[in-house]
Amino acid sequence: MAEEKKAGGMTVQEAGRKGGLKVRDLRGHKFYEEIGRKGGETVRNERGHEFYEEIGHKGGQKVKELIEAGKRRAREDAEKAPVVAPANELPKQ
């Protein structure tokens, strides 16, 4: 994706970052806590408790899938790896 320079000589991404840093410096950590709390309350009021159960279940399922994939990959890698005898079991010359 090509980044286009605007009249001011910065990309949209650069402008967004600069604006975000300015808000952070002006309003501080408490501001983000407050807007997060308000957003969470709005979601709770609009979607209800079941919504959180559903997304929690989806997240748990994703973690389960990732763990299974990691174990499967480890088994495949172990099967492909050459078997090497420990140094104390090598034949003497």
pLDDT the model gives residue 81: 79
User: What pLDDT, on a 0 to 100 scale, did the predictor assign at position 17?
Assistant: 96
* pLDDT value, residue 82: 77
The 10s digit of each residue's pLDDT in 7-60 is: 668 999 999 999 999 999 999 999 999 999 999 999 999 999 899 899 999 999
pLDDT at 21: 95
Q: Is the pTM of this model over 0.85?
A: no
pLDDT (0 to 100) of residue 2: 52
Q: What is the structure's pLDDT at 9?
A: 86
CB-CB contact of 3 with 11 (8 Å): yes
Is residue 43 within 8 Å of 51, Cβ to Cβ?
Answer: yes
Q: How many helices (H) and strands (E) does the chain have?
A: 3, 0
